[in-house]
Amino acid sequence: MNSLNYFLNYSKVIGEIPTPAIIWSEEKIINNIRLYKLALENQEIEIRYAVKACALKLVLETVRAEGCGVDCQSVMEAELSLKAGIDFQKITLNSPRLREEEISWAIQNKIKVICDSKNQIEIIDKLVSKLQFPKDWRYGVRVSLPIEETKRFHSKLGMDTSEILFGLEKVNPKTLSLLDEIHHHGAARETNSCLLSKVTKELGKLANLIENKFSVRFQKINLGSGLDSQDIIKEAGNDLQLILHECCSHLKEQIDTKNRIIVFEPGRAIVQNSAIGLTKVISKKRIWGKDIIVVDISTNVLIPSPLEKFCVWHPNFNKSKTENLSEFVVVDGTCSPTGVIVESVKLPTINEGDMLWIGLSGAYTWSLAQSFYDYIPSAWWLDKQGVIKQIVDRENNKKMAFYINGFENDMI
């Protein structure tokens, strides 16, 4: 179900919530996770939710209750996940910026590291001979593939073939024996299987090459995911289950997937369509022929590109009625010229004080909101029984703004 329509069932209560706010739905998150699980019933899969998309406690607890693990890009995200009760065995740490102390922290906490560079492999090699290693600790490698369409990731993610071969050639046999996962992240915001199929083929080929050259075995093949949410995939005329099926069959053409686990790390696909933003129109103005609506919600990432796509909607407006619509640009009230929420959206007559809903607001909004002090929305949770409660209050955000700017003694 389209996410805005889904929230319409609760429009009476939602209408009472002070703006700006974002409401996440537990049911939508669970459904999104189950779409992944159901798609590949005959293949052992592991779902690791990418915490960077949204680290709210209730989101992480829902992910845990569904039996998923998490992928973290920082020690802080891993600590939040541990606090949410996620088992250390289900957590991975993967980031180009991991330093020795963070890798060492991960090892001591029995958390798997996915190495993003030769330098991180060298650190692990060094620590293997120094540290008391947990018996079951393993690590993985993140690769960068020679695919034209994923060139944008060549700026910093993973290792190319020569780098990884060179890195692994130098490590001692004990370190090699701890390698059990190969990872590639290259399909962010994909809505069809074309690119994913190329990625899985290339990844399978490279996994084969490394296994043969170093006599290792990848127990886990990590396709990273990064697909868009089901709403957007459907809008593009595709289906998440078909995409996942296709990419797994392409992987099987290159490497035997029996007795291996295929890992997916969806972030936005789990939370993006599970939330709506609520905002009020502060003012309207016209600049060089464009009708501008200034609203009261703002985070650094209520900005559509490259992380998000938003759809703005007037909750009292019947979508099937297309007459009397005008085109608007919806912007936040900050002084940053980048705070454009939607470049062009058709809406009915809008008045100051009207409430607008922003669909697809669940991913990356909250994670990156923190530095827009005065504009942080409150966060709300619609549980699976249909009860809505506030989970983060704007007053707490205000306290945090004082605190992180060094005003801890003046906190109100």
The residues binding ligand PLP (CB under 6 A) are: 50, 53, 71, 94, 185, 188, 224-226, 265-269
CB of 20 to ligand PLP, least distance (A): 23
Which residues partner with 32 through β-bridges?
none
Which residues partner with 286 through β-bridges?
291
Of 95 and 279, the one with the shorter C-beta distance to ligand PLP is: 95
CB of 226 to ligand PLP, least distance (A): 4
CB of 410 to ligand PLP, least distance (A): 37
Of 125 and 265, the one with the shorter C-beta distance to ligand PLP is: 265
CB of 225 to ligand PLP, least distance (A): 5
Q: Which two tokens stand for residue 156?
A: 């910093």
CA count, 13 A, side-chain hemisphere, 383: 8
Of 190 and 354, the one with the shorter C-beta distance to ligand PLP is: 190
Strand 378-382 with 388-392, pairing: antiparallel
Q: Which two tokens stand for residue 211?
A: 């296994």
CB of 139 to ligand PLP, least distance (A): 14
Of 269 and 293, the one with the shorter C-beta distance to ligand PLP is: 269
Burial of 191 (0-12, 13-18, 19+ CB in 10 A): buried
Q: Which residues contact 167 (CB under 8 A, 6 or more apart)?
A: 115, 117, 118, 121, 122, 141, 159
Q: Which two tokens stand for residue 224?
A: 């990273």
Of 228 and 296, the one with the shorter C-beta distance to ligand PLP is: 228
Name the phi and psi angles at 403, rounded to 5: -60, -50
Of 115 and 295, the one with the shorter C-beta distance to ligand PLP is: 115
In three-state secondary structure terms, 69 is strand
CB of 365 to ligand PLP, least distance (A): 12
Q: Which two tokens stand for residue 99?
A: 């330093």
Residue number of the CB closest to ligand PLP reads 267
DSSP 8-state secondary structure symbol assigned to residue 190: B
